[in-house]
Amino acid sequence: MVALFWFTIRQCLRGRRLWLVALLLAGPCSLALLLRNFEPPGGVVETWEAYHSAMLSLMFMAVLPLLCMLYGSALIGSEVEARTLVYLVTRRMRRATVLLVRFTATALVLVALFGVAVLAFHLCAVVGLDVKALNTAGGLSSGQAWQPWSDLLGYFGALPLGVVAFLAVFTLVSLLTSRSLTISTMYIVIVEIVLSSLPVGAQVYTITNQLRRSLATFISRDLLWLVEVPVTLQEELYPVGATGTIPLVMVVLAVMTSCCVLVSRRELAPAKSVRE
């Protein structure tokens, strides 16, 4: 198990994939620099809005799902495709153990990579910014002062939740279909970007919504007015005091249980190669 764990970590940090990840993560940092360059007019509210809009829309709604899709689809799928899974499932480990070890290792790598990206984005957006002066000129709508470093901690808190939730969903997709990337992309666009932005009750079935709930608890409920949800719906979609942590953990447990059952029941061999 330990060998498989380290092997998976090394695989996750392999050259080509890491290049793609670096490019993906460079995008939000470039945006942060752009925003710094073209400073939003006004005071702390506008700067706060720019920071959180970019973090929520770009980092948590686009880059994070894409990263999880890349790694989740490769967790078992790429081994099946390359037929190397045969070496892992013909050892004395149970298939479910193989899956869980690989999932844990991949999730840890993703948390680390995405954590670095969030930190880099934060540094690009905040370092050199006179937050104190901005706060003196006027506070946030709730009357509180903006504390970017404390917000960063909030994002760090939500990060592992987002990683395991997205990774679990995309792992399940990769076990259910051989066209996992197409279906996962459709899922990201239709469910996590479009549906989670629509002011409808079905929004609660998205991971993004649950993450926002957690962030609203970890950081501030002020974040909710960035989502542009009508006030009438706000209580339904984001009830006060309700975090998305428990629902997300439940979802991860349910999805991973399904994954373990699937991986144990299915042969996971590329059919053509074993027909002889």
Residues that bind another protein (CB under 8 A): 2-4, 7, 11, 14-17, 20, 23-24, 27-28, 31, 34-35, 38, 40-41, 46, 49-50, 53-54, 57-58, 61-63, 66, 69-70, 73-74, 78, 82-84, 86-95, 179, 181-182, 185-186, 188-189, 193, 264, 267-269, 271, 273-276
Q: Which residue lies nearer to another protein by CB, 57 or 214? A: 57
Q: How far is the CB of 271 from another protein (least distance, A)?
A: 6
Residues for the chain: how many in total?
Answer: 276
Q: How far is the CB of 182 from another protein (least distance, A)?
A: 6
Q: How far is the CB of 78 from another protein (least distance, A)?
A: 7
Paired tokens of 92: 């004395």
Q: Which residue lies nearer to another protein by CB, 11 or 210? A: 11
Q: How far is the CB of 94 from another protein (least distance, A)?
A: 6
**Residue 182 CB burial class (10 angstroms; 0-12, 13-18, ≥19):** exposed
Q: How far is the CB of 159 from another protein (least distance, A)?
A: 18
Q: Which residue lies nearer to another protein by CB, 172 or 251? A: 172
- Nearest Cα residue to 170 out of 156, 158, 182, 155: 182
Are 206 and 196 in contact by the 8 Å Cβ rule? The answer is yes
Compute the distance between CA of residue 39 and CA of residue 88 in angstroms, rounded to an integer.
52
User: Which residues have a Cβ under 8 Å from the Cβ of 217 and sit 6 or more positions away?
Assistant: 241, 242, 243
Separate counts of helices (H) and strands (E) for the chain:
13, 0
Q: Which residue lies nearer to another protein by CB, 66 or 256? A: 66
